[in-house]
Amino acid sequence: MDGFVALVTELIIEAGIEEGHIHHNTALELPGFFRPTKEWDLLVVRDSQLITALETKSQVGPSFGNNFNNRTEEAMGSALDLWTAFREGAFNKTIRPWLGYIFLLEDCDGSRRPVKVKEPHFKVFPEFVNASYAKRYELFCRKLVRERHYDASTFLLSDQQTGLKGKFTEPAGDLTFLQFAQSLAAHAARFSA
């Protein structure tokens, strides 16, 4: 995911934020509400205000099931912790930070195969019935934004051979990297030097 973090860093600089305000290798901790700190993948901090926080995650098979649950709980928990800390004045007075989530999934038979659901007591939401892990991650990224846990999210697929050369696909038109980048750049431009 380092390549995506580097690309996002370039976008933020092009939007007018000085590189000294962008943190992607060190000083990545933010105070939490439910835990002392959480380390993000990229932060923009200017004039003692949090401007941007970015989380990037990827998953390569074979145990998509266990990892899916861990990744979703982690992303939701991180957002809840950040927004609660923000509400309590942990890092900003009034400026609402921009929160982004990038997810890259291995494109393979295991990620694209339909997965059964267990419904011993209640029916699951219909969109999850026979949905592959790729579809579940797409739904998850979309719901993170629709529920306003994150300002933007992008969902990418890449196979092991072409992924090493930087190739990926975007299965959902509303979760493209371009839309993600445009949202981020517009927010960053508000705080340009």
* Spacing of C-alpha 69 from chain mean position: 15
Residue 113 within a domain: no
Domain count across the chain: 1
The pLDDT of residue 161 is 78
3-state secondary structure at position 124: coil
Residue 120 within a domain: no
Q: For residues 116 and 65, is the Cβ–Cβ distance under 8 A? A: no
C-alpha 24/C-alpha 2 separation (Å) is: 9
The pLDDT of residue 94 is 84
Residue 123 within a domain: no
* Among 162, 148, 28, CA closest to 104: 162
Residue 44 within a domain: yes
pTM: 0.92
Q: For residues 130 and 115, is the Cβ–Cβ distance under 8 A? A: yes
* pLDDT band of 85, cuts 50, 70, 90: very high
Residues near 87 by beta carbon (within 8 Å), at least 6 away in sequence: 33
CATH of the domain at 90: 3.40.1350
Residue 8 within a domain: yes
Residue 155 within a domain: yes
Q: Is the pLDDT score of 41 beyond 70?
A: yes
Q: 64-87 and 133-146 helices cross at what angle (nearest 10)? A: 10
Residue 51 corresponds to which tokens in the numbers above?
A: 């401007």
pLDDT in tens, 159-172: 887 777 778 889 99
Q: Where is average pLDDT lowest: 13-17, 85-89, 92-96, 175-179?
A: 92-96
Give residue 43's domain range: 2-106+134-189
